[in-house]
Amino acid sequence: MTDTKSIFVIIPCYNEGSVIRQTVEEVLAKGYRVVIVDDCSRDNSRKQLSGLPLYYLRHRVNLGQGAALQTGIDFSKKKGAKYFVTFDADGQHDCNDIAGMVEFLEQENADIVFGSRFLPGAKTNVSRSRSVALNLGRYINYFFSGILLSDSFNGLRLFSRQAVEKIKITENRMAHPVEILMLTAANKIKYAEYPVAIHYSDYSKGKGLKNKDGIKILFEIFLHKIFR
């Protein structure tokens, strides 16, 4: 059985003061290490985390979710993490899925497990309009990476240490999920998908990928292709 203390859950945070404490407390209750990367929040996010046994990192300027994830991954590597979980701060993910993802990764001898709200066994209250945006996103990912996931923009992912040694996120903002898949393909990293629960509250419905964001992602990834 994997030691929960070797599993680091990396949670990017930007103005999530109304929900961040509950999200973190639920993850901590499972025995995992929590790394908060505050991406220059302007609200009371830090105050809400007071007294909790976690690692708190803060960007001096707002860099974007991709940058926050890489900051958390680099820190967790230094702390000796065996497994690295990316986890959204807004409460839409279920930390009960993490243990199953770790077990599945080990069974499949994979190095990355991507969470999916669209596989059999998954649970979600995703709206039809958001499903349209997410479906567009998966084909954007496929066009650039050659990997067609059922849920390309799910923020719940599990990486082995071997995987994070090969993946360096340089797309700071919305295009980082595409970059992760591009690097997965380029480095021939074995991956798998796992059904997870995604619950949208009124709060989280106002966040995340929208139809218009596909154009922004295309623009960012084209710049990546040109200048990298």
The CATH number of whichever domain residue 67 belongs to comes to 3.90.550.10
Tokens of 35: 């790394």
Q: Would you say residue 209 lies in a domain?
A: no
pTM of this structure: 0.91
Q: Would you say residue 27 lies in a domain?
A: yes
pLDDT per position as a tens digit, 22-49: 999 999 999 999 999 999 999 999 999 9
Q: Would you say residue 192 lies in a domain?
A: yes
Q: Would you say residue 142 lies in a domain?
A: no
Give the integer Cα–Cα distance in Å for 139 and 123.
Answer: 22
Handedness of CA 121, 126, 131, 133 (dihedral sign): negative
pLDDT per position as a tens digit, 108-156: 999 999 999 999 999 999 888 888 878 877 888 888 899 999 999 999 9
Antiparallel, parallel or unpaired: β 7-13 and 33-38: parallel
Q: Would you say residue 28 lies in a domain?
A: yes
- C-alpha dihedral, 54 to 77 to 178 to 227, nearest 10°: 120
Give the three-class secondary structure for 156: coil
Range of the domain at 73: 4-125+153-169+185-202
Q: Would you say residue 23 lies in a domain?
A: yes
Give the three-class secondary structure for 29: coil
Give the three-class secondary structure for 11: strand
Domains in the chain: how many in total? 1
